[in-house]
Amino acid sequence: MISGQATVPGPAPAPGPVPGPIAAAPAPGPEPTTATARTSATDSATATATATTATTTGAATATATSDVADAGTGRDAILRAARRAFTQRPYADVTIRGIAADAGVSPSLVVKHFGRKEELFNTVADFGPAAAAELFDAPLDMLGRHMVVTLVRRRRELQSDPLLRVVFSLGNRDERSLLRDRFHEQVTDSLAARLPGPEPALRAELIAGHLLGLGATLSLHREGAGADATPEHIADLYAPAVQALITG
């Protein structure tokens, strides 16, 4: 810490072969003048301000670094790792510790966000938020375009497809079959309930196939022409077929 007034040391004693006794402190000098006192006060205030600024800057830098870390290793990273784990391996082979390692976080953070493994699996198998709050949130006459644009944007912004994980449940009779059941209930059946005209269930299944096919194509051609196209341009080409199934 910088003090308000520093004492100027006297000249050092001449060196000798054996150090002599410590010299007595010099008698105190005259009281500082008003100008000297003001200078010392100014120096003290400057030092205090500098220290405060350094502390504040350090704290702000630490907070910003923490925010960046949380953005990369928080809830979304855990959810992506859990989707990979539960869709690619049997439920019994998946562990919280393994998901945490894949997400780059501690197991305790996984438990904090999602609870036990069963609760995390239920979150992975839940298509409701993606369907109700995102993909289907548009009037019927605009729904086809809305679904295509939303799916493409979500894949790019969140690095996650809202529906495609159900494909990994095909052919499995273990707990992963829950993904199929939830998909039928929350996506296909929910969409069929909104469709006017004949054969709404069939049309809803075909619409779901269009959306899954789009996600699979974008995954297969990650560096293809679709990667350079805007979501709106992809919708210009792809959405009319989806909309035709919606309107019947």
- Tens of pLDDT, residue by residue over 166-219, are 888 887 777 878 889 999 999 999 999 999 999 999 999 999 999 999 999 999
* Domain extent at residue 109: 71-124
The verdict on 137 and 242 lying in the same domain is yes
More confident residue, 135 or 176: 135
Last residue of a domain, one of 56, 89, 124: 124
pLDDT at 3 over 60: no
Mean pLDDT of the chain: 77
Confidence (pLDDT) at 188 = 95
The verdict on 176 and 214 lying in the same domain is yes
Is residue 178, in this structure, part of any structural domain at all? yes
The verdict on 193 and 110 lying in the same domain is no
Confidence (pLDDT) at 87 = 84
pLDDT at 117 over 80: yes
CATH number, position 113: 1.10.10.60
Confidence (pLDDT) at 32 = 45
The verdict on 82 and 143 lying in the same domain is no
Is residue 244, in this structure, part of any structural domain at all? yes
CATH number, position 162: 1.10.357.10
> What are the pLDDT digits (tens) for 138-149?
999 999 999 999
The verdict on 96 and 158 lying in the same domain is no
From the number of C-beta atoms within 10 Å of its C-beta (0-12, 13-18, 19+), residue 208 rates as buried
Q: Considering only 60-64, 140-144, 151-155, 174-178, which range has the smallest mean pLDDT?
A: 60-64
Confidence (pLDDT) at 153 = 94
Is residue 16, in this structure, part of any structural domain at all? no
pLDDT at 68 over 80: no
Share of the chain above pLDDT 90, in %: 46
pLDDT at 156 over 80: yes
Confidence (pLDDT) at 63 = 37
Confidence (pLDDT) at 1 = 39
Confidence (pLDDT) at 114 = 93
pLDDT at 227 over 80: yes
Domain count, the chain: 2
pTM: 0.64
Calculate mean pLDDT across residues 33-42: 45
Share of the chain above pLDDT 70, in %: 71
The verdict on 160 and 103 lying in the same domain is no
The verdict on 215 and 154 lying in the same domain is yes
Confidence (pLDDT) at 51 = 44
Confidence (pLDDT) at 9 = 45
Is residue 9, in this structure, part of any structural domain at all? no
pLDDT at 12 over 80: no
The verdict on 96 and 215 lying in the same domain is no
